[in-house]
Structure 1
Amino acid sequence: MPTGHVEIPALPVMIPLGVALMIVAALVLRRRGELTRGRLVSWWLAGWYAVAVLGATMLPLRLTWGPGAGEPELFRILVIPYVTMRVDDFVLNILMMLPLAAALRVVFGVRDGKRVVLTGFLISLTIETAQLLMLLFLNGARWADTNDLIANTLGAGLGWLALQQASRRRRQAEPAVRS
């Protein structure tokens, strides 16, 4: 079997995917009878957020396989949390998942903090598992890092807390309705 190599750049994937999500959002909202400018923009922002997460975590994608591909770079697998932590990456992973609570609320109506945190954990677990499998079997260039899993889950939880705080402040700022 000959050595194979594929490199998938970010923009040719992200832009068509983002546009496709915009079209799907408009069609779904129209079919449900819920198409308003505000709702459409919210869904579009949530879709582009998902595209940005995909781009930040998986793209560009560089894979090599077959004889001559070399051994997987096992130093890219960081299993022990905190000891091998890169602080800047940890903070960026927290920041990346902060908008998740808002996206889940706008698109799926999720308001429960446990569901937001679980969703953030599962999204992160999926990303890290995909990166690990590509690293081991296709000589992928990404890192599989338990710190990312922790930071992403923490970011989802902090995003939910921030959304709750913003909602409380908005309710407090609303004038009392007189009967």
Structure 2
Amino acid sequence: MNDPFGEVPALPIVVPLGALVFVLLCWRLHARGRFSLPRAAVAAALGVFVAGIAANTVFPVFLRAPAHPAPWWSGVVLAPFADYEMEDALTNVIVFVPLGILIPLLLRRPRWWRVVITVVGTSLAIELTQLAVQDLAGGGHVADVNDLIFNTLGGVIGYGLLLLFGLLPGGERILERFRWSDGDGRSPAAI
């Protein structure tokens, strides 16, 4: 098949990236004497999350970008809620719900503001990476403040779901099996 733009395939890059994240996280668990199958499942989920995010936010990347920018080439979108489709908003919310669940399982003291800062930082890193890839490697995505807003909302919803699960009978006991740290003995809902 003719590929005039030289699109870089995503899978040969993101699958090893996800595997590397998984291996490094498992190594960290083992080094701290905290390795267990539930915690390895959290590491696996994070590896899949990283690979999926990279595949869907950084790619496509083109070796030979079009000489004249295509209509979607707008660089950065800084106007919140302007020309932003509801489907994109819902997708960004749904995609970041797992991160709002996984981050508190990793943190020693998962306060709400630490979770929000981590989600915002992750989303901002993605948007800046998209901008860099667009400018340096002909990437096909734009950095959008709306993505940052709705990614953050998804992370907050995920954290809320985790807190609600912890309130169910036996929920906190189940969550303890997946937490990477014993913390300070306080509930994850502690503020």
TM range (shorter): 0.7 to 0.9
CA distance in 2, matches of 1:172, 1:37: 18
AA of the residue aligned to 1:95: I
Instruction: State the TM-score, normalized to the length of structure 1.
Output: 0.79
CA distance in 1, matches of 2:114, 2:63: 34
Equivalent residues in 2 for 1:139-154, closer than 5 Å = 139-154=138-153
The answer to whether the aligner puts 1:129 opposite 2:152 as a matched pair is no
Measured against aligned partners, the alpha-carbon deviations of 1:74-107 in whole angstroms (never above 9, x if no partner) come to: 5353322112111101100001110112211223
Runs of 4+ deviating beyond 6 Å: none
Shift of 1:46: 2.0
Question: Please, which runs of 5 or more residues in structure 2 have no aligned partner?
Answer: 174-191
Instruction: State the TM-score, normalized to the length of structure 2.
Output: 0.75
AA of the residue aligned to 1:128: E
CA distance in 2, matches of 1:46, 1:173: 21
Please name the residue that 1:87 is paired with. Answer: 86
Measured against aligned partners, the alpha-carbon deviations of 1:43-64 in whole angstroms (never above 9, x if no partner) come to: 2122212221222211232254
Please name the residue that 1:54 is paired with. Answer: 54
AA of the residue aligned to 2:68: G
Please name the residue that 1:69 is paired with. Answer: 67
CA distance in 1, matches of 2:34, 2:172: 27
Q: How many residues align?
A: 168
Greater per-residue helix proportion = 1
Change (3 A) 1:25 1:137: closer
CA distance in 1, matches of 2:23, 2:118: 24
Shift of 1:6: 5.7
Percent identity of paired positions between Structure 1 and Structure 2: 27
Change (3 A) 1:17 1:81: same
AA of the residue aligned to 1:54: A
Shift of 1:15: 1.3
Please name the residue that 1:177 is paired with. Answer: none
Question: Please, which runs of 5 or more residues in structure 1 have no aligned partner?
Answer: 175-179
